[in-house]
Amino acid sequence: MPPRRPYLLRWGRFRLELGRRTAILGVLNVTPDSFSDGGLFLDPEAACRQGERLAAEGADILDVGGESTRPFSSPVPAEEEIRRVVPVIAALAPRLSIPIAIDTTKAAVARAALAAGASLINDVSALRFDPDMAAVAADHGVPVVLMHMRGEPRTMQLDTRYADLLGEIRGFLASAVKSAVARGIPRERLILDPGIGFGKSAEQNLALIARLAELADLELPLLVGPSRKAFLRRLLQRPGEGEPSPRSPEVEDATLGAVAAAALFGAHIVRVHAVARARALLQVIDALAAAGPDGPAPPPARQRPQP
């Protein structure tokens, strides 16, 4: 495992050191139709309990989303997205010591979520879908995740051909960074996501994780989100049978394998649904990295934040 370049994200009351250990972005979908847990946390009280659980299990950031971005999904109106996420964020923000990310492509949703207590924007469109999103991020001084995706969730799986997979992803992300900085977002507050499962075939997702180190020259933290995704379920599919359920034990095990590989190949942050299992895995991965001949000093033990 090559040593990861360290980064320090510092904004508001938050400070996140990246590189010495792998940070965890815990997923909280407040949606009726997400591929993995749609409907489980649509009720605000259930969502708040899950958010507190993920924080207690060791999440470094909580990622709250009110619109599914699974393949072939359609967008929901901003008003509905706000109705889903704002009560949950407003209830959780005073209770948690970790930052809350709003997972959205809409400036109006991001603005409402930030007003309610969110402090990071996770935009799968890399600021492309809404011309006002960059201004919202810049005005609030929050970090932004820029993700690679061709097209939109409704169309992204219709054409997954690439002449140069890593080259095209690198070029897209470099251009997204340049645009974000030109629109007022400091470079040191950007995080890059190569977009596992967004406009890629199963084989391309595997190649992207295996070749993640090739994106290190973009010189920004890398976030990888393989959790429970279709390329893992297809790997596990037995002849004559359907894909296993996203929440099945074997898919969780497969997710951990992808998370381990992502961390070993250079991910600074991983996005997962099952935080406790990922936390235990990453404590081993990070300790092994620190024990290597070129590894950093041993990472500090992950403390479970108090709700």
Domains defined along the chain, listed by start: 22-291 (3.20.20.20)
DSSP 43: S
Torsion of CA 132, 62, 17, 268, to 10 degrees: -80
Torsion of CA 167, 168, 169, 173, to 10 degrees: 100
- Report the alpha-carbon distance of residue 304 to residue 287 in Å, rounded: 18
pLDDT, position 157: 74
Query: Which residue's structure tokens are 């919202």?
Result: 136
pTM for the whole structure: 0.92
Q: What is the DSSP string of 166-183?
A: HHHHHHHHHHHHHHHHHT
Per-residue pLDDT of the chain (307 residues; tens, 9 = 90+): 668 999 999 999 999 999 999 999 999 999 986 666 656 888 999 999 999 999 999 999 999 999 988 676 678 999 999 999 999 999 999 999 999 999 999 999 999 999 999 999 999 999 999 999 999 999 999 999 999 998 787 776 778 889 999 999 999 999 999 999 999 999 999 999 999 999 999 999 999 999 999 999 999 999 999 999 999 999 999 888 888 999 999 999 999 999 999 999 999 999 999 999 999 999 999 999 888 766 655 555 555 444 4
Active site residues: 229, 271
Residue of 104, 98, 141 lying closest to 11 (CA atoms): 141
- Report the alpha-carbon distance of residue 128 to residue 108 in Å, rounded: 14
